[in-house]
A and B are shown apart, each in its own frame.
Chain A
Amino acid sequence: MPRKTYIAAINEAFFEEMRRDPKVLLIGEDVRIGVFAGTRGLHAEFGDKRVIDTPISELGVAGAGIGAAVTGLRPVVDLMFGTFMYLAFDQIANQAGAMRYMYGGQTNVPVVFMTQNGAGSSAGHHHSQSVHQFFMNMPQIKVVLPSTPYDVKGLLKSAIRDDNPVVFLNSLSLGGKRGDVPDEEYLIPLGVADVKRVGADVTICAVGSTVYTALGAANKLAKEGIEAEVIDLRTLSPWDKDAVLQSVAKTGRFVAVDESFPTCSAASEWAATVAEEAFRSLKAPAQRVNNKDVPMPFSPVLEKAVLPSVDDVIAAVRRTLG
């Protein structure tokens, strides 16, 4: 199977979906140039009407995407960095996140808000935050955060075809990751987790960049004879609760690894759910591994210290082993 980068897989998804459906268009700052290369080359094929460069106006552009979506198009709004989405919160939370319900089902809002999520490039606080946990608190928004080239392509294609608003997050640190991506078309349904490593001793649940942290920890633990199961949720809302509960029923131990602040994080939600619904399966308390609870510092050594590490995950697994 051909090996492709994460960012090339995103690019392929756009080409395929825009060729398939003339209602799909892309709007945002510098989408022609494609700052992270995900949208590169699209303008040459699809032109000014479908690849629309906009002013740096996150609120306005997000709203324009919503307005286009409720009048028959399927826009993808590129908001470049997760932190820039804070500027667009009113439109995402109050409009996209409510219109269908608030108007009694009169409209669908098939818009995708795409952005880079998380840290890892030493860009300082304003370009290095995870935002997925905020959108998990918006009941009408789907949230996707893929970890591999294969997943990002199949999930982006599904997100574009979804009739609900989707926040589609790419892990900033994963752009250059290579993986198997077939040339043939495929889709990955939203809301379905993927077991990235099978194991019987402990369940490690992760998403986006932390899938690799979890796998790194699992490989080290395997040398000690501890077999971890690594579940990549891939979609955060709705999330695949059954996959997690089934795994915990088998392993009896649970560690949640999530690149965001600990309070009300994705990991908090998973751990709370396991505590509520799988308590009797648990042989030890569920554990969370998150960012340290501070703004993101710039210096690479400090940034690394704030992010969940392989050692953090191993320590959490050891706590479950008593």
Chain B
Amino acid sequence: MDHRDIPIDAILDIYTRILRIRRFEEEVGKLFKQGQLPGFVHLYIGEEAVAAGVCAALTDEDTIISTHRGHGHVIAKGGDIKRMMAELFGKATGYCKGKGGSMHIADFDIGMLGACGIVGGGIPVAVGAGLSAWYSGGERVSVCFFGDGAANEGSFHESLNLASALNLPVIFVCENNQYGEFTPATRAMNIADIADRAAGYGLPGIVADGTDALAMYRAASAAVERARSGQGPTLIEAKTHRSGGHAEGEEAFLAGQQYRIESELAAAQAKDPLRLLHTYVSEKDLIPADELESLDESISRAAREAVEFARESPLPEVDSIFEDLWV
């Protein structure tokens, strides 16, 4: 990969976002194994380049909508990992006061309009955020992250058509991690590239390497520019991989059955987005090794501190079940 035109500041920014996600998710994985987290969690490890590359191309005013595998999107948009971790613990200090959990984190102050536990459920809402941006006449854009599984939902098709028909500033980012839960995408659709579906709705469909954060940044920047200048929506299909499974602790559901395609698993291991970017900046001598190391140290420490914050935070008062219902 050659990204000489991307400024070092931007590369360091993207690298930082990836690392923040990775270290956070590693802590989450550990906590889940230790039985410290209620519910279930879907880790974003392996897919960080998508959220980091895309969100680096956005401003604070731009909005995003996320999925059940949404921790990475919140962090990439600038979310507070303490409040995120507290939410995962079901604590009162969490982003949603313990009412959302892992799959429903939102931070409206930074334009993170919410993760969504329904596959494809956030896509029409992102079209509405785009409609609002268009209505206001500003430069804001609306980004929607979703997976390959969501591309088979009606909401995906209705949303692409609606955004295209109304020419709205929406960027649809399909994270094709090759599995809808445990079913390979190759068995769920009879096409190689989800991006091809864009043609049916009259918007550009771009395939990007979702393991290459700088390629994602480039693809997103072009789509953002298009949207901001009133040229309408874009679909970006990011080809990526899950490092782990669908959900932590999935062994319990699988009862020994294997579903991962071996060649894909090997590709996932070979194309770890953090290692790829680390290699790129090291080989090109863009960022000094000691700087990368101290960055990792401080980010890892922040992740551990988030765990401490969450652990020490109070549980919500039971009476709070009646709060935040009606305005």
Interface residues of A (CB under 8 A from B): 25, 27, 49, 52, 54-55, 57, 59-73, 75, 90-91, 94-95, 99-108, 139-140, 162-164
Instruction: Decide if A108 touches B327 in the complex (CB within 8 Å).
Output: yes
Residues in chain A near residue B129, CB distance under 8 A: 67-68, 70-71
A161 to B: closest C-beta gap in Å: 11
Number of A-B contacts (CB under 8 A): 147
Instruction: Decide if A25 touches B108 in the complex (CB within 8 Å).
Output: no
Instruction: Decide if A73 touches B108 in the complex (CB within 8 Å).
Output: no
B window 99-149: CB within 8 A of A: 99-100, 104, 106-108, 113-114, 116-118, 121-133, 135-136, 142
Residues in chain A near residue B127, CB distance under 8 A: 60, 63-64, 67
- Of B126, B131, B154, the most chain A CB neighbours within 10 A belong to B131
Interface string of B47-70 (1 = CB under 8 A from A): 000000000000000010100000
B16 within 8 Å of A (CB atoms): no
A111 to B: closest C-beta gap in Å: 9
Query: Top 5 A-B pairs ranked by shortest CB distance?
Result: A67-B128, A63-B124, A60-B158, A105-B324, A104-B96
The contact of A60 among B63, B97, B104, B124, by CB within 8 Å, is B124
B276 to A: closest C-beta gap in Å: 34
Instruction: Decide if A59 touches B125 in the complex (CB within 8 Å).
Output: no
21 contacts between A and B (CB under 8 A): A52-B131, A54-B165, A54-B166, A55-B165, A59-B154, A59-B155, A60-B124, A67-B124, A67-B132, A68-B132, A70-B129, A71-B128, A71-B133, A94-B118, A95-B116, A102-B99, A102-B114, A103-B95, A104-B95, A108-B327, A139-B325
Using known A-B contacts A49-B135, A102-B104, determine if residue A60 contacts B125 with beta carbons closer than 8 Å.
no
Using known A-B contacts A52-B166, A101-B99, A102-B96, determine if residue A67 contacts B130 with beta carbons closer than 8 Å.
yes
Instruction: Decide if B327 touches A73 in the complex (CB within 8 Å).
Output: no
B110 to A: closest C-beta gap in Å: 11
The contact of A59 among B106, B132, B158, by CB within 8 Å, is B158
Instruction: Decide if A95 touches B96 in the complex (CB within 8 Å).
Output: no
13 more A-B residue pairs beyond the given contacts A52-B166, A67-B142, with a C-beta to C-beta distance below 8 A: A54-B166, A57-B162, A59-B155, A59-B158, A61-B162, A64-B159, A66-B128, A67-B126, A90-B121, A94-B117, A104-B98, A106-B108, A164-B327
Instruction: Decide if A71 touches B113 in the complex (CB within 8 Å).
Output: yes
B102 to A: closest C-beta gap in Å: 12
Instruction: Decide if A67 touches B327 in the complex (CB within 8 Å).
Output: no
Instruction: Decide if A73 touches B132 in the complex (CB within 8 Å).
Output: yes
Instruction: Decide if B161 touches A60 in the complex (CB within 8 Å).
Output: yes
Instruction: Decide if B121 touches A94 in the complex (CB within 8 Å).
Output: yes
- Of B106, B116, B130, B135, the most chain A CB neighbours within 10 A belong to B135
A126 to B: closest C-beta gap in Å: 18
A195 to B: closest C-beta gap in Å: 25
B23 to A: closest C-beta gap in Å: 25
The contact of A63 among B123, B161, B166, B325, by CB within 8 Å, is B123
Residues in chain A near residue B95, CB distance under 8 A: 103-104, 106
Instruction: Decide if B125 touches A104 in the complex (CB within 8 Å).
Output: no
Distance in angstroms between the alpha carbons of A57 and B49 in the assembled complex: 33
Distance in angstroms between the alpha carbons of A52 and B97 in the assembled complex: 37
B94 within 8 Å of A (CB atoms): yes
Instruction: Decide if A25 touches B161 in the complex (CB within 8 Å).
Output: no
Distance in angstroms between the alpha carbons of A75 and B97 in the assembled complex: 28
Residues in chain B near residue A68, CB distance under 8 A: 128-129, 131-132, 135
Distance in angstroms between the alpha carbons of A54 and B100 in the assembled complex: 32
B253 within 8 Å of A (CB atoms): no
Interface string of B297-327 (1 = CB under 8 A from A): 0000000000000000000000000011111
A50 to B: closest C-beta gap in Å: 8
A307 to B: closest C-beta gap in Å: 32
Distance in angstroms between the alpha carbons of A163 and B325 in the assembled complex: 11
Residues in chain A near residue B113, CB distance under 8 A: 67, 70-71, 107
A318 to B: closest C-beta gap in Å: 40
Residues in chain B near residue A49, CB distance under 8 A: 135
Using known A-B contacts A55-B162, A164-B326, determine if residue A103 contacts B124 with beta carbons closer than 8 Å.
no
Distance in angstroms between the alpha carbons of A68 and B124 in the assembled complex: 10
B238 to A: closest C-beta gap in Å: 22
Distance in angstroms between the alpha carbons of A55 and B165 in the assembled complex: 8
Chain A residue with the shortest CB-CB distance to B162: A60
A89 to B: closest C-beta gap in Å: 11
- Of B125, B128, B155, the most chain A CB neighbours within 10 A belong to B128
The contact of B124 among A59, A72, A104, A164, by CB within 8 Å, is A59
Distance in angstroms between the alpha carbons of A100 and B327 in the assembled complex: 9
Distance in angstroms between the alpha carbons of A290 and B99 in the assembled complex: 37
Distance in angstroms between the alpha carbons of A95 and B121 in the assembled complex: 8
Residues in chain B near residue A71, CB distance under 8 A: 63, 113, 128-129, 132-133
Distance in angstroms between the alpha carbons of A309 and B125 in the assembled complex: 42
A68 to B: closest C-beta gap in Å: 4
Residues in chain A near residue B327, CB distance under 8 A: 100, 108, 162-164
B159 to A: closest C-beta gap in Å: 5
Residues in chain A near residue B116, CB distance under 8 A: 94-95
Distance in angstroms between the alpha carbons of A71 and B94 in the assembled complex: 22
Using known A-B contacts A103-B106, A104-B100, A163-B327, determine if residue A62 contacts B124 with beta carbons closer than 8 Å.
yes
Instruction: Decide if A64 touches B124 in the complex (CB within 8 Å).
Output: yes
Distance in angstroms between the alpha carbons of A71 and B143 in the assembled complex: 13
Residues in chain A near residue B133, CB distance under 8 A: 71
Distance in angstroms between the alpha carbons of A20 and B323 in the assembled complex: 31
